[in-house]
Amino acid sequence: MRYPRDFLGYGPNPPHANWPGGANIAVQFVLNYEEGGENNILHGDAASEAFLADVVGAAPWPGQRHWNIESMYEYGGRAGFWRLHRLFTERNLPVTVYGVATALMRAPEQVKAMLDADWEIASHGYKWVEHKDMPEDAERNQIAEAIRLHTVATGARPKGWYTGRCSLNTVDLVSEEGGFAYISDTYDDDLPYWRVHNGKPQLIIPYTLSANDMRFVTASGFANGEDYFQFLKDSFDCLYAEGEAGAPRMMTIGLHCRLAGQPGRFQGLKKFVDYISGFDKVWVPTRLAIAEHWAEHHPYKTPELQPSKMNRETFIATFGGVFEHSPWIAERAFEGELSPGNDTATGIHFALQCQFRMATEAERLDVLKAHPDLAGKLAAARRLTEASTAEQASAGLDALTDAERETFTALNTAYVEKFGFPFIIAVRDNTKSSILEAFKARLENTREAEFETACRQVERIAELRIRVLFGEQP
């Protein structure tokens, strides 16, 4: 079974963004232009719009126009857009527009203003409607039509994409369409990342709903512009400090003409723009500029090992020997739930370790018995596995004096007689002397305690072997 969701991402060590000018943060403003692309029976839709407008508890009206909702959307084109346009052009701040294709076709003056300001105009889909129940072929056709109309309206094909009210298939379908420097239908990171679909990498630049002005008209959202400013400021301060500490991030602010374009809300946005102007190491780009920067500085690299993508034969061949002579552990892990979170040394060790821990006591005992004696007869006869040979050599157990060998032989014999399985220790974590000390100390344990100790050592040995496979220093 393969679980597709990725809860790991970059993990504890994200790449250094290396933003231009050594910036601690990339602050990116998105203006969603949806007015004229929303649900409306004039547009051939079944009902009126009810999403992201100042009507509390609005619901679609089947077969009817909703005059109040329509006029609120019209405010965005008539007044809100121009208020936001003045702010960003006066401050000479780059903006990315998410333009709904049918909305752009109904906004000639606004489109000209966007182009004159040299704003990036990315695609926001064909219409501002819900896609969750849309058949794949229908959505695929709408993607193609969005690109066609966008090109007609702006004079250029869009290089960025964000549907917003997307389906489970949207990102895959847009990736398959191709030709996009980035897709933004995710909210899962503070940095861009590469996503592979059908063997091809696609850059993803995550978007935001938390720092989005849509929260002015949603439950538990922003009550006023001051609330919005404070949230944006706190977000900026956190990310700026992380960048100053050596981990630069990206911050996106999502805006709508009919929402942040309202005077009281606008003042909070303006205050934030004034605030960040007081910082030196801030890069304000378009999303396309971020995509081009990331592609240059962090191009896609195929991982050497991706356990969750392996077929059964390759998986067993790669990890079947991690637990000594016990390939059944890898077999069970393969049949279990593997995900992108298992594509690291820690992740795949966790998957194998869980199978070992879920095994019966008799099965785990067999794993213990599969381990060779330290510096025993198998080592002398050079019949250890390659991994065991390297491990014992790392602690100098392949070069014992006659006296040391006699000591190890006596200890091995006493240990097996008492516990019924060989003494097991992660030799890469130890020296010859510390191994001898542990040998003597653990002979004093009860069998129950020693069984658990030996099992934990088996898990540690497996972890070290996996790290070698991943090219990490054990």
CA atoms of 282 and 465, how far apart (whole Å) = 43
Cα 19 → chain centroid: 20
The beta-carbon contacts of 332-337 under 8 Å, at least 24 apart in sequence, are 335/1, 336/1, 337/1, 337/2, 337/3
State residue 134 phi and psi, 5-degree precision.
-75, 130
DSSP run (H or E) holding 120 = strand 120-123
DSSP category for residue 116:
H
Q: SS3 of 23, please? A: coil
CA atoms of 447 and 453, how far apart (whole Å) = 10
Residues recognised as catalytic = 371
CA atoms of 132 and 165, how far apart (whole Å) = 7
Q: What Å distances lie between residue 77 and 21, 80, 110, 463, CA to CA?
A: 36, 6, 8, 59
**DSSP codes joined into one string, 315-375:** HHHHHTTSSTT-HHHHHHHHHS-B-GGGSSHHHHHHHHHHHHHHS-HHHHHHHHHTSPPTT
CA atoms of 233 and 67, how far apart (whole Å) = 36
48, 40 Cβ separation under 8 angstroms: yes
Q: CB neighbours of 337 closer than 8 A, spacing ≥ 6?
A: 1, 2, 3
Radius of gyration of the CA atoms of the chain, in A: 30
418, 439 Cβ separation under 8 angstroms: no
